[in-house]
Amino acid sequence: MKKNILATTIALAALVGYITYETQSNTQIEVFSANVEALADDTGEATEVGTCYIEQPFTSCTDWLLFCDKDTDNNHIYPCPKDKNYRGYSSMCTDRCTK
Amino acid sequence: MKTIYCVLLLLVLASCNNKGQDTDIFNGDIINIEEHAPEKEVEFKKLTLKGLNFGNLAIHDSLVFFMNPKLQSKWFQLFNCHTLDEMGEFVGKGNGHEEFIAVGPIWNFYTENNELKTLIFDGNKESVSVWNITKSLTSKSTIIEKEIKMPWKKENRGACFNELLIKDSCTLYAKVSATPINDYDASLPYYQIRDLRNGEKISDIHIFKKSIVNKQTKFLPQTFFYSHDAMKPDGSKIAQAMLHVPQLNIIDTKSKAVTGYRMNENMSLSDLETSKELKPYFIRICADDNYIYTVFCGKAAWKVNEVPCVNHIYIFDWEGHLVRKIITKHCIDEIAVDGINKILYTTSPMDEKLYYIKTDELITGATL
């Protein structure tokens, strides 16, 4: 009798342990899957961009404009300035800034 | 068969010739002028001002003004041409009372009650402020007399004022900038006459009738009609030295009549609509009651971040005649004329000197 109770208890404990393990694993799998889906998703939110002008050290054109951050280059763009400045600008090109 | 070919050829030629006429574009008469004028090589004298000097130059009766964005807390630096001393920094930077987020340069001056004044324009504040220079020098602090609202965002549909020419204490000629409509077209620049007592617009002066649409050029469309402007000190005329066409426009401020004086550089207003290479012609201007002094380039446009050496000054009279071509030994950046003492000043992009010469020396004397 006692042996049966002990065996049943052990079996139940093992069963509970297994069920708990399986549940956590499934949760981890779900989270992992969600992360993978998120990483694989290529339809993220768009970033609105505006136009800014490139300041020139010597120029034939000056005006009140939004000037690009001085560190703007082919790989980096910066937030559009809030205020206009009166400066010389390139008459041949503009650049982008983030809104 | 031959007739058909001729007709087809004519049709093809006609369709290629879709360039407009200058008379459709310009709101005034265009007069071709004799571009041969006596040439003179001159060497300007040099001044070394006692202090950092940089930026937009303005001169009044031996007072030198620099609108210097490099200054820490002020917008303007003043020097005395005779003593070379710095007389102070004025017009505070900031967003507080009587401070300015950004300012434009000084275009000209006026006197009222024997006090020298000018206007400070902050495009962000949409207002001009009267700066009393005489009282500021006496008190060694910036004296702003009043602020006049000029709501360009609403009134001009987003086109800001580029140049502000003061005729007298009551009257301002404010040039409205061309603004891009799309990648190849822009609105027309024009002048508004405004009352400085209340800021209200009195009337407009239109220099151009039709905009330029050009899909072939790399230049921004708002630069097609770009010009550097100066007012005759007596307030009767405005000279516009155009950038991409070798043409000097003279506006009669009373009649509002506009006349274009065109040099023969094989470039017309209607050529702005074509694939013809755009060159910078006139790149600076200043004027006294007798003459208009322009810095002339006439070569291929320089590259982004390049600093070219431009050393030709073309001098016109107020009837549009080219009277002198001056070749300087130094490269020219800003120019300004002291009409009272009859001295022309320039700065150079190559150094921090202030170059000067008596205007009589430019007009008279031996030429090449």
| pLDDT score of A12 | 81
Report, as an integer, the average pLDDT of B99-118.
Answer: 96
Residue of A nearest to B182 (CA): A51
pLDDT, tens only, B62-95 = 999 999 989 999 999 999 999 999 999 999 999 9
Nearest-CA distance B253 → chain A (Å): 23
Host domain of residue B206: 23-363
**Nearest by CB to B123, which of A56, A58, A86?**
A86
- Say which CATH number the domain at B275 has: 2.120.10.30
Separation of alpha carbons B218 and B304, rounded Å: 13
From chain B, the residues in CB contact with A85 under 8 A are: 69, 102
Do residues B130 and B145 make contact, with C-beta atoms less than 8 angstroms apart? yes
Residue B352's nearest CA partner among B3, B52, B141 is B52
| pLDDT score of A40 | 46
Do residues B76 and B133 make contact, with C-beta atoms less than 8 angstroms apart? no
Residue B194's nearest CA partner among B145, B241, B161, B226 is B161
Give the rounded percent of residues in chain B with a pLDDT score beyond 70: 95
Q: Answer yes or no: is B1 within a domain.
A: no
| pLDDT score of B206 | 98
Residue of B nearest to A62 (CA): B162
Q: Answer yes or no: is B315 within a domain.
A: yes
Please give the residue that has the higher pLDDT: either B265 or B326.
Answer: B326
**Sorting pLDDT into bands at 50, 70 and 90, what band is A24?**
low
Q: Which residues are registered as beta bridge partners of B165?
A: B173
Do residues B346 and B283 make contact, with C-beta atoms less than 8 angstroms apart? no
Q: Answer yes or no: is B2 within a domain.
A: no
| pLDDT score of A32 | 44
Please give the residue that has the higher pLDDT: either B357 or A4.
Answer: B357
| pLDDT score of A29 | 46
Is the dihedral angle over the CA atoms B236, B38, B311, B268 positive or is it negative?
A: positive
Nearest-CA distance A63 → chain B (Å): 6
Per-residue pLDDT for B102 more than 50?
Answer: yes
Separation of alpha carbons B228 and B177, rounded Å: 12
Per-residue pLDDT for B26 more than 50?
Answer: yes
Instruction: Check CB contact under 8 Å for A64 and B218.
Output: no
Instruction: Kindly report which listed range (A26-40, B110-124, B253-267, B345-359) carries the lowest average pLDDT score.
Output: A26-40
Number of H helices, E strands in chain B: 5, 29
Q: Answer yes or no: is B193 within a domain.
A: yes
pLDDT, tens only, B144-165 = 999 999 999 999 999 999 999 9
pLDDT, tens only, B118-132 = 999 999 999 999 999
Instruction: Check CB contact under 8 Å for B123 and A94.
Output: no
Report, as an integer, the average pLDDT of B253-272.
Answer: 96
| pLDDT score of B13 | 53
What is the token pair recorded at B275? 């694939």
- Could you state, in order of their start, the residue ranges of all structural domains in chain A? 1-44, 49-98
What is the token pair recorded at B13? 């030629």
Contact with chain B for residue A57, Cβ under 8 A: yes
Contact with chain B for residue A63, Cβ under 8 A: yes
Number of H helices, E strands in chain A: 1, 3
**Nearest by CB to A84, which of B123, B218, B297?**
B123
Contact with chain B for residue A39, Cβ under 8 A: no
CB pairs under 8 A between A and B: 62
pLDDT, tens only, B328-341 = 999 999 999 999 99
Separation of alpha carbons B347 and B334, rounded Å: 5
Q: Answer yes or no: is B17 within a domain.
A: no
| pLDDT score of B357 | 97
pLDDT, tens only, B300-328 = 988 888 899 999 999 999 999 999 999 99
Nearest-CA distance B288 → chain A (Å): 22
From chain A, the residues in CB contact with B161 under 8 A are: 64
| pLDDT score of A3 | 76
Do residues B94 and B84 make contact, with C-beta atoms less than 8 angstroms apart? no
Residue B243's nearest CA partner among B212, B284, B276 is B284
Nearest-CA distance B6 → chain A (Å): 41
Q: If you average pLDDT over every residue of chain B, what do you get?
A: 93
Measuring CA to CA, how many Å separate B298 from each of A79, B301, B343, B359, B360? Answer: 37, 9, 25, 23, 26
Do residues A22 and A14 make contact, with C-beta atoms less than 8 angstroms apart? no
**Nearest by CB to B223, which of A61, A64, A83?**
A61
| pLDDT score of B222 | 96
Report, as an integer, the average pLDDT of A25-43.
Answer: 49
| pLDDT score of B20 | 72
Per-residue pLDDT for A37 more than 70?
Answer: no
**Nearest by CB to B124, which of A57, A84, A94?**
A84
| pLDDT score of B279 | 94
Residue of A nearest to B348 (CA): A58
Instruction: Provide the number of structural domains found in chain B.
Output: 1
